[in-house]
Chain A
């Protein structure tokens, strides 16, 4: 909470990144962790959300508060369209996951050929000033971005906690555990899965808007790429899928791990391209092999929390 007062700008940017992944991971967790629908294309919503708000600002000077609604609207529409097509045609499991990849990749290559949005050369938002806080245009010092991300993460946590204990949450978990049994109990699985997709894509759209105005540049190759989708989902999976603390814990662990490896290698003078990711991959491999449910569930048991 008080971090910006004593942390340097580097630590602050790392903290912002952690919160960004915690929030986006929470959004993805609604769809996969709660309702059991594996999306491997969440970068699609980050990208479309970012480009929607970014384009309004870039072309018409319309600020991010209006852009946010457009971003959410577009992402929910897109999510519902994909969900409708997939769930109506009975696509699930691996096939659903591959369909989400296909849509994200299709969009990535499409955006590469949209000159209005900058094409492969990217779209750059004007950075007006960094000194004073201009909430209306979402421009300001790094601390402002940190606090907005903190705010979003807290909101998402509360929202997910409420959702998990709501009727929808129980229906989702029933669908996740056994869709046929849920259907046999009279749950309209189609409708509840669509709701999960809508909430998840709306939340991810907000990440996209944040991304656009925090980094001020958008490249299709970067924002829609499948490695971005993987980045988003690593946190919740490592932290503990379907739990409330999992996405947050996973984001902290992975971001610090990635940073720690970078610094450790730099200290030893091993700065060869690729070496950092090799270590990162090996640690991921170890975690997934030895902690199949993620870090949070065993940790919670150790700490004496219920589940």
Chain B
């Protein structure tokens, strides 16, 4: 096992992990503000991936250009979903919210199966086969661009929450629901906005991910679990934690695939999750609840 091989695998893991991190960031933002765990998160991710393959097949649209229409559609979809379905559930018990989103997930994953069938879909662009060479290290172009898109989207979201007035208002809702209502914020509308923003994260991550893996309907539940693992490891509700968690899981998956067996890779993610839950339940970068 040469050093070069390990280094290549680690770099690929970090880059894929950043895309994972953006997906998980969406989950984390939604949970941090709305306090609802989106059990249909991975299913939404696969919908974005399918949308990208459709745009590519029909219009020869590059996945990175698809980000704009897909993200816009996902924002509207997420906004509508929160306003129509989830807002009435925010005061209901957790198991009720869970059931709602599980039902949504069941419909989504099977609607995809119904429309696209069980066969894997992908996009083929010329830069998927090219790579940058730095010394003896090879970096896939597609993977680097995907990670770049994820980082740009994540930075945009950070900036939005930090500097924009709406972003500050959303943070106020997350910190103190009652207080936010007292000062006259329209909390339900801000919740819907938050779900829309979380959906944008998923959309961008989906467009980027489709360059790296083939998409099938069962990928949805897998990504949902993966997103949970990442946000718990990083800290549910912590934005930096989601990206850190994504990178950690990306690298651990890549190394487990290299040293043990590709099929065992998620066992390490779940093992890491169990350890984090037991010894640092608030996650690596999370605040104590």
Interface residues of A (CB under 8 A from B): 32, 38, 40, 85-86, 89-91, 93-95, 97-99, 101-103, 105-106, 109-110, 112-113, 120, 226-227, 230, 233-234, 237, 241, 272-278, 280-282, 284-285, 288-289, 292
Instruction: Tell me the B111-132 residues at the A interface (CB within 8 Å).
Output: 111-114, 117-118
Q: Are A278 and B221 interface neighbours, CB within 8 A? A: no
Q: Are A277 and B100 interface neighbours, CB within 8 A? A: no
- Closest CB in chain A relative to B289 CB, distance in Å: 9
- Considering only CB atoms, which chain B residue lies closest to A91 in the complex? B281
B263: chain A residues within 8 A (beta carbon): 109, 112-113, 120
- Closest CB in chain A relative to B268 CB, distance in Å: 9
B147: chain A residues within 8 A (beta carbon): none
A282: chain B residues within 8 A (beta carbon): 103, 107
- Considering only CB atoms, which chain B residue lies closest to A96 in the complex? B277
Q: Which range holds the interface residue count of chain B?
A: 35 or more
Say whether, besides A226-B221, A278-B114, A99 and B277 are in contact (CB < 8 Å): yes
- Closest CB in chain B relative to A151 CB, distance in Å: 29
Partner-binding segment picked from B14-22, B65-73, B89-97? B89-97
A275: chain B residues within 8 A (beta carbon): 110, 114
A106 CB contact (under 8 Å) in B85, B99, B232, B271: B271
A229 to B279, CA, bound (A): 26
A241: chain B residues within 8 A (beta carbon): 95
> What does DSSP make chain B's interface, helix, strand, loop or mixed?
helix
> What does DSSP make chain A's interface, helix, strand, loop or mixed?
helix
Q: Are B99 and A280 interface neighbours, CB within 8 A? A: no
B228 CB contact (under 8 Å) in A32, A101, A237: A101
Q: Are B229 and A227 interface neighbours, CB within 8 A? A: no
A-B contact pairs, 23 of them (CB 8 A): A89-B278, A89-B279, A93-B94, A94-B94, A105-B225, A106-B270, A109-B263, A234-B99, A237-B99, A241-B95, A273-B114, A274-B110, A274-B114, A277-B106, A277-B113, A281-B106, A281-B107, A281-B110, A284-B102, A284-B106, A285-B104, A285-B107, A288-B103
Q: Are A97 and B94 interface neighbours, CB within 8 A? A: yes
A109 CB contact (under 8 Å) in B88, B232, B266, B273: B266
Say whether, besides A237-B95, A274-B111, A113 and B264 are in contact (CB < 8 Å): yes
Say whether, besides A89-B281, A288-B100, A102 and B270 are in contact (CB < 8 Å): yes
A99 CB contact (under 8 Å) in B96, B106, B274: B274
- The reply to whether the CB of B155 lies closer than 8 angstroms to some CB of chain A is no
List 8 extra interface pairs beyond A86-B277, A106-B271, A274-B217, CB under 8 A. Answer: A98-B273, A102-B274, A106-B270, A113-B264, A233-B95, A276-B110, A281-B107, A284-B102
Q: Are B232 and A95 interface neighbours, CB within 8 A? A: yes
B229: chain A residues within 8 A (beta carbon): 102
B273: chain A residues within 8 A (beta carbon): 98, 102
A95: chain B residues within 8 A (beta carbon): 232, 236, 277, 281
B37: chain A residues within 8 A (beta carbon): 94, 98
- Closest CB in chain A relative to B49 CB, distance in Å: 17
A284 CB contact (under 8 Å) in B85, B103, B221, B270: B103
A91 to B100, CA, bound (A): 23
A94 to B34, CA, bound (A): 13
Say whether, besides A102-B274, A277-B110, A32 and B95 are in contact (CB < 8 Å): yes
B159: chain A residues within 8 A (beta carbon): none
Instruction: Tell me the B228-247 residues at the A interface (CB within 8 Å).
Output: 228-229, 232, 236
Say whether, besides A106-B271, A274-B114, A275-B114, A281 and B104 are in contact (CB < 8 Å): yes
Q: Are A102 and B277 interface neighbours, CB within 8 A? A: yes
- Closest CB in chain A relative to B214 CB, distance in Å: 18
- Considering only CB atoms, which chain A residue lies closest to B112 in the complex? A274
B31: chain A residues within 8 A (beta carbon): 94
A98 to B277, CA, bound (A): 9
A110: chain B residues within 8 A (beta carbon): 267
Q: Are B106 and A109 interface neighbours, CB within 8 A? A: no
